């Protein structure tokens, strides 16, 4: 088999900052040891997130020029709406500036204090928006996801038995909707099978509970289904995506991921009553329903990007890139979640740093060591992001698992960039016992990882 190449060539370049270790040490200290607080000009390879960081295609840049900036009923809006309807099949489409705005509108209009929203795994913003209105966000990841080193497929699935128990003990009336996140970001970018979505749908249907898909990485999930699930090998990605959406009653979407755009999102559904509530709140907080929080040109870029993400050659290259990085790290003994996820490689910082406990925030230690070694920015998805801070007399609760994510921006970095990342990680891996424990010296009540201040300290 021949090398799977990038199915594009480069028309414009953007200089990468090459920095010295001294400079990086100084900048990290000034950022209170939180890489979210660094300036991008001090970062060489930025794997903080795959959200809004992708490179747009020439077709998207050309579409920007077609942006119709009319306040109401613009042609760009019609292009956007037509495209979202074509892919998702949903009748009502609401553009938002990004996904969390869609989540906020969904939570604010459908939930009341005491309600429960199950999900295979809530992303942090989804959880925060649900909790902000006094409801409870419950994660029901599949039992297979607990063994992060097994090569089992579809470890992003929801635990259907646990969902059944939840409905039996709490009652369907306390569950205004259930969510399913494709791919499952918090569980290592693992995909969800069509069979699982179907089973979740069947169970919910019997209890009259609607299903809302968090569709941020729907195209990457569709590719996994095509590759792995029986009966899908010959289907086009767009048909697989349509099948996924047809099992759901609504969707929240971040166009910053599989919309291949730098900003944008949407909320969609079929229910007229939901749509009326969404529209009213959208007008109040995002904008008129034909632009949401977006410019006409953004709507155009997203409309083109949503389709490009479903191109087979693009997804094949994307998955091959993640595989490439994962296989090089596995060969060096670096502990990573398997199989490789759809949008990144997830490292296990607890095993990477056996000298540190969860309370020492090993993920922060590893992220900071990577930055100091090579100017590579990764992100902690562990007890800082998903754990619960001590509050109201309750002690701090760690996350289900500690992870560090190397998220791959779409169409941005080449193979040699990833070789550099592997070399940098290898150096950190060889000197891993030098990674220090960290403590939090300042934090916010919600989404603390973005702004917390950390301090390294000696444990011995």
Binding residues for ligand F0G, per CB under 6 A? Answer: 49, 51, 98-100, 123, 125-126, 181, 185, 214, 216, 254, 256, 265, 407
Nearer to ligand F0G, 167 or 225 (CB): 225
Q: How far is the CB of 192 from ligand F0G (least distance, A)?
A: 11
Nearer to ligand F0G, 60 or 125 (CB): 125
Nearer to ligand F0G, 121 or 424 (CB): 121
Which secondary structure element, helix H or strand E, spans residue 254, and what is its range? strand 250-254
Closest CA to 404 of 370, 372, 435: 370
Q: How far is the CB of 107 from ligand F0G (least distance, A)?
A: 12
Nearer to ligand F0G, 186 or 336 (CB): 186
Distance CA 279, CA 109 (A): 10
Nearer to ligand F0G, 254 or 383 (CB): 254
Nearer to ligand F0G, 98 or 436 (CB): 98
Nearer to ligand F0G, 292 or 436 (CB): 292
Helices (H) and strands (E) in the chain, counts: 15, 14
Q: How far is the CB of 342 from ligand F0G (least distance, A)?
A: 11
Nearer to ligand F0G, 76 or 120 (CB): 120
Strands 136-139 and 116-119: parallel
Q: How far is the CB of 220 from ligand F0G (least distance, A)?
A: 11
The answer to whether residues 208 and 178 touch, using CB atoms and an 8 Å cutoff, is: no
Can you list the alpha helix ranges (DSSP code H) found in 208-295?
Answer: 218-228, 237-246, 272-285
Handedness of CA 96, 100, 101, 105 (dihedral sign): positive
- Written as six digits, the tokens of 410 are 């779409």
Nearer to ligand F0G, 51 or 424 (CB): 51
Q: How far is the CB of 75 from ligand F0G (least distance, A)?
A: 25
The DSSP bridge partners found for residue 268 are 93, 251
Q: How far is the CB of 49 from ligand F0G (least distance, A)?
A: 3
The answer to whether residues 210 and 225 touch, using CB atoms and an 8 Å cutoff, is: no
Q: How far is the CB of 222 from ligand F0G (least distance, A)?
A: 15
**Residue 8, C-beta contacts closer than 8 angstroms, at least 6 positions apart:** 57, 411
Distance CA 129, CA 108 (A): 8
SS3 per-residue string spanning 98-120: CHHHHHHHHHHHHCCCCCEEEEC
Nearer to ligand F0G, 74 or 185 (CB): 185
Distance CA 434, CA 432 (A): 5
Peptide bond into 183 cis (omega under 30): yes
Q: How far is CA 53 from CA 44, 118, 264, in A?
A: 14, 29, 12
Q: How far is the CB of 9 from ligand F0G (least distance, A)?
A: 28
- Written as six digits, the tokens of 156 are 């992003």
Q: How far is the CB of 74 from ligand F0G (least distance, A)?
A: 22
Q: How far is the CB of 380 from ligand F0G (least distance, A)?
A: 11
Distance CA 390, CA 408 (A): 32
Q: How far is the CB of 393 from ligand F0G (least distance, A)?
A: 31
Nearer to ligand F0G, 401 or 432 (CB): 401
Angle 138-144-148 from CA coordinates, rounded to 5°: 95
Distance CA 329, CA 334 (A): 5
Distance CA 56, CA 303 (A): 12
């Amino acid at each position: 088999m021949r090398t799977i190449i990038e199915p594009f060539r480069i028309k414009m370049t953007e200089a990468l900052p090459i920095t010295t270790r001294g400079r990086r040490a100084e900048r990290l200290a000034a950022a209170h040891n939180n890489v979210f607080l660094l300036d991008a000009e001090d970062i060489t390879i930025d794997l903080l997130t795959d959200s809004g960081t992708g490179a747009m295609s020439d077709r998207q840049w050309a579409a920007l020029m077609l942006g119709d900036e009319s306040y109401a009923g613009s042609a760009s809006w019609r292009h956007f709406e037509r495209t979202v309807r074509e892919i998702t099949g949903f009748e009502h489409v609401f553009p938002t500036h990004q996904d969390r705005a869609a989540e906020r509108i969904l939570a604010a209009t459908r939930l009341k204090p005491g309600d429960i929203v199950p999900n295979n795994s809530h992303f942090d913003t989804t959880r925060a928006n649900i909790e902000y209105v006094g409801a409870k966000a419950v994660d029901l990841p599949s039992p297979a996801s607990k063994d992060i080193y097994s090569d089992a497929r579809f470890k992003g699935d929801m635990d259907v038995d646990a969902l059944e128990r939840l409905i039996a003990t709490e009652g369907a009336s306390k569950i205004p909707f259930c969510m399913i996140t494709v791919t499952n970001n918090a569980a290592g970018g693992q995909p969800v099978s069509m069979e699982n979505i179907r089973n979740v749908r069947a169970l919910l249907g019997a209890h009259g509970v609607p299903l809302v898909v968090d569709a941020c990485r729907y195209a990457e999930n569709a590719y996994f289904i095509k590759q792995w699930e029986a009966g899908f090998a010959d289907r086009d990605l767009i048909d697989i995506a349509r099948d996924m959406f047809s099992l759901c009653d609504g969707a929240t979407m971040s166009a910053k991921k599989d919309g291949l755009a730098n900003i944008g999102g949407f909320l969609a559904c079929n229910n007229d009553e939901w749509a009326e509530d969404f529209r009213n709140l959208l007008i109040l907080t995002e904008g008129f329903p034909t632009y949401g929080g977006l410019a006409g040109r953004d709507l155009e870029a997203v409309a083109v990007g949503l389709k490009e993400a479903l191109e087979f050659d693009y997804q094949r290259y994307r998955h091959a890139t993640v595989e490439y990085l994962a296989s090089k790290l596995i060969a060096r003994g670096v502990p990573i979640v398997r199989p490789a996820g759809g949008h990144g490689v997830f490292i296990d910082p607890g095993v990477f740093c056996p000298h540190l406990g969860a309370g020492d925030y090993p993920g922060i230690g590893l992220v900071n060591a990577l930055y100091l070694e090579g100017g590579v920015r990764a992100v902690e998805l562990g007890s800082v992001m998903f754990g619960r801070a001590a509050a109201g007399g309750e002690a701090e609760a760690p996350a289900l698992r500690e992870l560090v994510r190397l998220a791959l921006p779409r169409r941005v970095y080449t193979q040699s960039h990833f070789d550099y990342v592997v070399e940098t990680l290898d150096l950190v891996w060889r000197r891993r016992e030098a990674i220090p424990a960290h403590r939090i010296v300042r934090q916010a009540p919600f989404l603390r990882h973005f702004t917390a201040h950390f301090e390294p300290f000696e444990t011995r």
